[in-house]
Amino acid sequence: MYKHNNHTDQSLSMSTPEERWPPAWTPELIQREVDALKDKPGAMLPILHAIQDRFGYIPDAAVPIIAEAMRHTRAEVHGIIRFYHHFRTHPIGSHVVQVCRAEACQAVGGRRLEAHIRDKLGVDFHQTSDDNVFTLEPVYCLGNCACGPSIRVDDEIHGRVTAARFDQLVDELATTVVEVK
């Protein structure tokens, strides 16, 4: 398992809520996101994306707010959230690690890499490490097929990833110091 020797926990505890990622949500902030988009045609997906982009996930308490504004049932909103694998309903870690599970990556060692990543982070897919630093998610193609096995860490795609390269990436991320201004 990776060594968690960074100073982010102490630094984050001294930061203001606006500086934390993901920021704390409130019903008022959810309502603002909904109100900004609800009158656009096909607004449901943009609303869900906006909420997740802002808070890192879609809180359960957002569902009735969205349902009322969009004149849908709560079940319909839940159904849309569950249908799209991109949407999360639980908080995520500071870094999201996505592992490509498509055939091209599997053919060049993707399964071995998956096992190593799960072991290194101490979590399975759709889980977050105990220290809330890493969330592990499967994806079914990163569009980097010629350079497999591939992963995406936050918004950066890495190709031809080996166990050693993954360990290096995790160690770099886990030892990053957050400065408080």
Q: Which domain holds residue 52?
A: 23-83
pLDDT in tens, the chain (181 residues): 544 433 333 333 333 333 445 678 999 999 999 999 999 999 999 999 999 999 999 999 999 999 999 999 999 999 999 999 889 999 999 999 999 999 999 999 999 999 999 999 999 999 999 999 999 999 999 999 999 999 999 999 999 999 999 999 999 998 865 555 5
> 95-100 and 127-128: which strand pairing?
unpaired
Domain shared by 64 and 130, yes or no: no
Tell me, what CATH number does 168's domain have? Answer: 3.40.30.10
pTM of the model: 0.74
Domain shared by 125 and 158, yes or no: yes
Domain shared by 57 and 119, yes or no: no
Domain shared by 106 and 67, yes or no: no
Tokens of 143: 């569009």
Report the number of distinct structural domains present in the chain.
2
